[in-house]
Structure formats: C-alpha cells, structure tokens
Structure 1
Amino acid sequence: MRAAVWNARAALLYSLGGWTMLGAMIHYSFGGGGAESGEGPENESDPQANQATHKEIFTRETALGLQVTTVVTYKDVQPPITQLLRRVKSFFDSNDSSSSEN
C-alpha cells in the first residue's frame, strides 16, 4: 500500500515538472519571453542576444569554366532549454563576477 502511494506521488511530481518545463520552453520560444521581446537594458549584457556567426566560403570551378561559390553560415544557436537555464543561473549570480569565471 505504501509503495502505491509513493508511486502515485512520484508520478505526480514527475508530470508536474515535465509540464512546467514544456510550458517554460513554449513561453520563451513563442511567447516573447526571450531576448527577442526587447525587454530593455537586459539584452545588452545578455550573451544570447549577441550570438556569433561564422561563414565558410567554398569556390570551385566546373569543367565548362564556370565558377560556383557556396557560402555556408553557421550561427551559434542553443536550444530554448539552455537559454532558460542560463537566464535562471544569471538571476542567482551576482553582477560583480566576470563572465570568465563561469
């Protein structure tokens, strides 16, 4: 009997955590809760707002003498859950610490 009660409580806690995480991901992805919402001065120091891009340019020449150029652009995109966890972590970190310590 005690095992069934423990199992029910664990299932309730697990489902509550899962739905909370899913709701937070949806909120920050589509609801405008992320860096895209223009919340003001927080975006200036937010590392997620200044994501770096990296371009690679490949050029090759075909048999007919035509030149084909391919540009591949990589953007450092992180999943919404990582963005959410970094925001939560930055809430608890003091503003005096530098980013090189993290």
Structure 2
Amino acid sequence: MRAAVWNTRAALLYSLGGWTMLGAMIHYSRTSGGDIAGGGQPENGSDPQTQQGPHQEVFVTDTALGLRVTTIVTYREVQPPITRLLRRVKSFFDPNDVPPSEN
C-alpha cells in the first residue's frame, strides 16, 4: 500500500514539473516575439552588437597533393526558444554567465 501511494505522489510530482516546463516554454516563446526561429526584433534595438549580422570565418588548408580546402564557418545569433529559455534559467543560478564560445 505504501509503495502505491509513493508511486502516485512521484508520478504527480513528475507530471507537474513537466507541465510547468512546457507552460514556461510556451509563455516565453510567445512573449519574446512569437517567432519560432528567433528572428524577431532584438530586445535592445539601440545596442550595436545586437544589430550585427552573421559573421564568417574562412579557413584555408593546403594538402600534400597540392589541393586547397576552404572551410567557411558562419556564426549566427539566432537561437531557438528553448535555448534562450535554458540560458535564462541558467543565469539565475550562475550570475557570471558568459557566452558558450568563451568557456
């Protein structure tokens, strides 16, 4: 009998947490502009860093056979809503949050 009660309470707690996370994701995606791809207006329009477009890095490598390999890496600031939500939640616990490229 005790196991059944414990199992019911654990299932209730687990489902409550899942629905809370789902509701937070929906709320956050709707209040941040509603665009699924994250291509809405930047939060701070006067910040010049948010107005920069994607930047590219070009890597050129010469092989032993005389071939040249060019690799172009394009970095964009577009993030899916779940990534923005998780970074915001993480910032509550780690106030000295830096972008992941600097870690």
Q: Normalization by structure 1: what TM-score?
A: 0.51
CA contact (8 A) 1:27 1:33 kept: no
Q: State the 4+ residue runs in structure 1 displaced beyond 6 angstroms.
A: none
Partner of 2:80: 79
> How much has 1:50 moved relative to structure 2?
6.9
What secondary structure sits across from 1:94 in the alignment?
coil
Q: How has the CA–CA distance of structure 1 residues 19 and 98 changed in structure 2, closer, same or farther, with 3 Å as cutoff?
A: closer
For the residues of structure 2 that align with 1:91 and 1:7, how far apart are their CA atoms? Answer: 31
Is 2:8 the partner of 1:17?
A: no
**How many residues are paired up?**
78
Q: Counterparts of 1:41-52 in structure 2 under 5 Å?
A: none
- Between 1:2-11 and 1:76-85, the stretch displaced more is 76-85
Q: Counterparts of 1:52-91 in structure 2 under 5 Å?
A: 53=54, 77-91=78-92
> How much has 1:79 moved relative to structure 2?
3.1
Question: Percent identical across equivalent pairs?
Answer: 66
> How much has 1:3 moved relative to structure 2?
1.2
For the residues of structure 2 that align with 1:91 and 1:33, how far apart are their CA atoms? Answer: 22
For the residues of structure 2 that align with 1:75 and 1:5, how far apart are their CA atoms? Answer: 50
Q: How has the CA–CA distance of structure 1 residues 76 and 87 changed in structure 2, closer, same or farther, with 3 Å as cutoff?
A: same
Gapped regions of structure 1 (runs ≥ 5): 56-73
Q: How has the CA–CA distance of structure 1 residues 18 and 6 changed in structure 2, closer, same or farther, with 3 Å as cutoff?
A: same
